[in-house]
Amino acid sequence: MRNLGLKVRMVIVGSILFALYAVAAAAAIFVFGSGVLPIVLIGSVVLIGIQYKVGKWAALKSVGAEDMPEDRFREVHRSVEQLSRDMGIEKPRLMYADMGVPNAFAVGRKKAGIVVVSTELIQLLDHDELEGVLAHELAHIRNRDVVMMVLGQGVASVVAIVAQYIVLLTGDNDIADFFLAIIVGQIVQMLVMIFVMAISRYREYVADGDAADAIGRGEPLARALEKISAGNERASDSAVDEQVNALCIFGRPIGLAKLFSTHPPTEKRIDRLRN
């Protein structure tokens, strides 16, 4: 993680998430006693571990990703090998999928990364544009973006679960408390995710910048984003669900676009790459 701006933002957001986690743990201790602390800590680790493993498997399964044969996709393998050397990481496992839209995403960490590229993307982009997209995904792996997102989502889940149990066990334990607990949990998780999504959007800018550095200029990735955006707008059938959409190089805003989108506006990304 070489980008100073990303480091500063990670410290700020990380501190906020840690503070929220600490408040949730303190509230649990206040309500249930100190004996609940090991349960909260162990449960947090288990939950985040499960989210990481299941999320990775589900992302690959949802798009029907298959290993990318080197004899069929020789240029892609060659580009990733060179980019991986230049960016100082191990070559990730390469997979492809028919997603219905031109897109790509990365999962995993530095020494166990996977990059999935849609066949539509390979067909759509010129060689230098595809290199820009591949470099962007490798930057996500190098910067541990997927791992950090899972940690953030895990903290949001833990805080929400603690809030739900506090509502349930301090109320009258009736059906009204059950529904109130669900509502409170959803609101708490949504508030925590605002911070997680904010860092996700900035990570996209950083990955774009790292990709431009890796291939020597930003123009090819800017053109790729234009083509990908147009291809997604035209597509009527996509195999990419909302969870995987958050990992992709191109994501559609969901919910309250500015607060809960995992990606910044494509136009802004293109402007930054060209300027």
Q: pLDDT 10s digit of each residue in the chain, 275 long?
A: 456 766 677 677 778 878 877 887 887 787 778 777 788 788 878 887 887 788 888 889 988 999 999 999 999 999 999 999 999 999 999 999 998 889 999 998 888 899 999 999 999 999 999 999 999 999 999 988 888 888 888 888 888 888 888 888 777 767 888 888 889 888 988 888 888 888 888 889 999 999 999 999 999 999 999 999 887 766 555 555 555 656 666 555 544 556 667 788 889 999 999 98
pLDDT at position 108: 85
Residue 175 DSSP SS3: helix
pLDDT at position 148: 83
CA distance 101 to 254: 18
Closest to 260 measured CA to CA, from 196, 168, 214: 196
Contacts of 34-41 with C-beta under 8 Å, sequence gap 24+, read 40/158, 40/162
60 Cβ partners below 8 Å, 6+ apart?
Answer: 95, 107, 114, 116
pLDDT at position 258: 60
pLDDT at position 132: 96
pLDDT at position 1: 44
Residue whose token pair is 């939950």: 47
Closest to 268 measured CA to CA, from 232, 216, 218: 218
pLDDT at position 251: 58
Given the residues 129, 131, 137, 204, select the one marked as catalytic.
137
Domain count, the chain: 1
Active site residue 66: no
pLDDT at position 227: 92
Q: H or E stretch including 95?
A: strand 93-97
Domain with 96, as residue range(s), is 4-274
46 Cβ partners below 8 Å, 6+ apart?
Answer: none
